[in-house]
Amino acid sequence: MGDLELKPLAGYTAFPGPLVTVIMDGMGIGPGDESDGVHMAYTPVLDALEIEPLFTRLKAHGTAVGMPSDADMGNSEVGHNALGAGRIFSQGAKLVSEAIESGKIFAGRAWDEVCRRTGQGATLHLIGMISDGNVHSHIDHLYALLERAAADGIQQLRVHGLLDGRDVGEKSALSYFEPLEKKLAELSTNGRDYRMASGGGRMVTTMDRYEADWTVVENGWKAHVLGEGRNFSSATEAIRTYYKEDPKLTDQYMPAFVIEHDGQPVGTIEDGDAVVFFNFRGDRAIEISRAFEEPEFKPFNRKRVPDVFYAGMMQYDGDAHIPQNYLVEPPAFDRTLGQYLCAQQVTSYAISETQKFGHVTYFWNGNNSGYIDEKLEKYVEIPSDKITFDLRPWMKAAEITDAVISAVKSGKYKFIRLNYANGDMVGHTGVVPSIRIAVETVDLCLGRLLNAVSAAKGVAMITADHGNADCMWTEKNGQRSPMVAHTKNPVPFIIKDYADTNRFALHLPDTPGLSNVAATICNLLGYEPPPDYDPSLIRLF
């Protein structure tokens, strides 16, 4: 076991059942008013847990999860990274900002190849989400790429912009696209030709994840690469037109569009071009990267596959090397909780539905795909529904619960972790009745699950990775606007001990956060945490 060996926790008595860790995705602790979907929902199970002695609040945003500042919201990726790594690492947005500030982003082989290709008359294509949500991308990073491209003599550049409406205001696209188009026009001097080429809403164009719906990526391929789609003279014209045609349409679901001039698309991707996908977060960047890089690609008919140099802002999957080329080195995670538990021969079980399956596996394990030790671990994915989640807010919580109850009863697994996606995925829709149903679904399923843990004489740990459902809308001048982004609210942390073989008490650091959970899991399983892990939230007495 070498340097992954953990010391036994003195005075600890083993308990018969499993430790079950429940991540209630997107269910933070809100203001407790009408805007708070968790508060407004009927949640008798959570209400009872909140008066447990082992209850506290954890910070799940900003510097507590490796983001640049406490002005930055958390997200599922960094939240699960922190939960599984036990320490705080500089994360995507911060890494990219630091690389831009230091110039390292432009000093590597990838940017050199971009400049070499475009120096031969080819076009640089920048694809990514246009917002300052700082969850998948940041518009400042795009502006830095534009400025450097101009400084390095790149003459022809096209931007393929994806609308957010999820990590920022649901109809805020014009506040980003208008200044962007103005910026591109300003840079189009001295022989430079910088323009928008295509776009579309993130939930229907390009940014699918976990292979939930490949048609989303196909929509992006058609618009970005082939120039196929509804034509407009500018991105702002497209956005205004779609708003006018459907006043209820929000940015994240806006259909794809193509910018044309004289009846021809202005930015198809051709042989010899360079393409940079400038999102930094991995989950919604992997599939489009595969479409550009895989020779034997089967999810959809690409029709035409240009010979391009493709690079991501970061490498989105280190194990699978997706993409092969990237501008910024990803965070280097080592000695994750999963590695330590496997080294101690602890059996484990991880489950969620498609939308969050990668979070309880890939992100929990430090951005590493696959099993750490397949003999000790079991990963289960429940396929998500291909429907907007406000229409089916219960999602797959019941199926997940059924599977976990079976795993608990089997006695095969000492450590079980699961993610209920409802609070986050339905929270992103901004539909108030659906959000309340989503939260109530999680509460109902949690009650069933706790009964099984109690019968097995196990221990349950309940927390969340960030907030979302805890703020359904904001109000200004008497007008309510749906709040579809993550919140910066704290998240609950609860331990319910049905085994009653040990006596634990809260022992909190000055600012308890998600990164303290891994050490706490070590204690609950009878081990001293690694010395460089952020401290446990409990002590044995």
Catalytic positions, please? Answer: 76
Q: Report the chain's C-alpha Rg in angstroms.
A: 24
Query: CB under 8 Å to 373, separation ≥6 — which residues?
Result: 342
- Amino acid identity, position 259: I
Is the preceding omega at residue 31 within 30 degrees of 0, hence cis? no
SS3 content of the chain, % helix, strand, coil (to 5): 35, 20, 45
| Cis geometry, peptide bond prior to residue 323 (ω within 30 degrees of 0) | yes
CB of 58 closer than 8 Å to CB of 504:
no
Do 377 and 349 touch, CB atoms closer than 8 A? yes
* Among 333, 311, 332, residue whose Cα is nearest residue 322: 311
Residue 55 dihedral angles phi and psi, to the nearest 5°: -125, 135
CB burial of 1-24 (b: ≥16 within 10 Å; e: otherwise) equals eeeeebeebeebeebebbbbbbbb
Tokens of 16: 């018969």
Structure letter (DSSP) for residue 232: E
Cβ 174 vs Cβ 205: under 8 Å: no
Query: Which position has the token pair 């640049």?
Result: 68
Distance CA 363, CA 140 (A): 25
Reference 170, options 254, 51, 236, 233; nearest CA is 254
